[in-house]
Amino acid sequence: MFVIATFESSIYIELAITALEEQGISKEMILAAPLDKRKELRGLFDSIHKSDGFSLFDGPAILATCFMLLGTIYGYVLKWGPIIWGIIGAVSGLLLGFLIKMIILKRNKRGSKKISSEIVLMVRCEEQKWELVEKILWEHFALGMTKI
């Protein structure tokens, strides 16, 4: 059986490997492979075939709708009328929404996260040692684990 776990790059993976070796799992049965990190940032715009769950248009659409409604309501008492003020409100809400979204993106540094799996650890062991291997890996802060 194979036990596959992911870890951050830290001393804990070394400690986990040492603890596994102390429990009788040989070095030939353990494989640790580092992952390459993404070099370019993810794109801002989603396509029909891929989406990362971050929408660039939700906030601007909400603000455009609110500002258009307010422009239409107050347009009845203003000089240019409700249609022109509704269009002005929609455009200004859309621009303000994009500006706010871009500020949030710059502040959060899109594409970088605090915790990421950097190393994959594969351990080949017998069925009866599964619970021991699982316990050792969870104690040494594995981010995720599965058995095959």
Question: Which pLDDT tens digit goes with each residue over 55-77?
Answer: 778 889 999 999 999 999 999 99
The residues, ordered by sequence, that sit 6+ positions from 125 with a Cβ below 8 Å of its Cβ are 1, 3, 25, 29, 133
Residue 35, pLDDT score: 87
Q: What is the pLDDT of residue 65?
A: 96
Is the pLDDT reported for residue 111 higher than 70?
Answer: no
Query: Residues 78-87: what's their mean pLDDT?
Result: 94
- Its sign, for the CA torsion 14, 15, 20, 26, is positive
Q: How far is CA 114 from CA 34, 72, 148, in A?
A: 17, 44, 29
Query: What is the percentage of the chain residues whose pLDDT exceeds 70?
Result: 82
* Mean residue pLDDT across the chain: 86
pLDDT over 90 percentage in the chain: 56
pLDDT at 117: 63
**What is the reported pLDDT for 53?**
61
Q: Which of 106, 137, 112 is nearest to 7 (CA)?
A: 137
Using the predicted structure, report yes or no on whether residue 40 has a pLDDT greater than 90: no
Q: Which of 8-12, 38-42, 80-84 has the highest average model confidence (pLDDT)?
A: 80-84
Lateral strand order in the sheet of 30-34: 30-34, 119-124, 2-7, 144-147
Which whole number is the average pLDDT over 97-120? Answer: 76
pLDDT for 118 equals: 85
Structure tokens that stand for 115 in this block: 């915790």
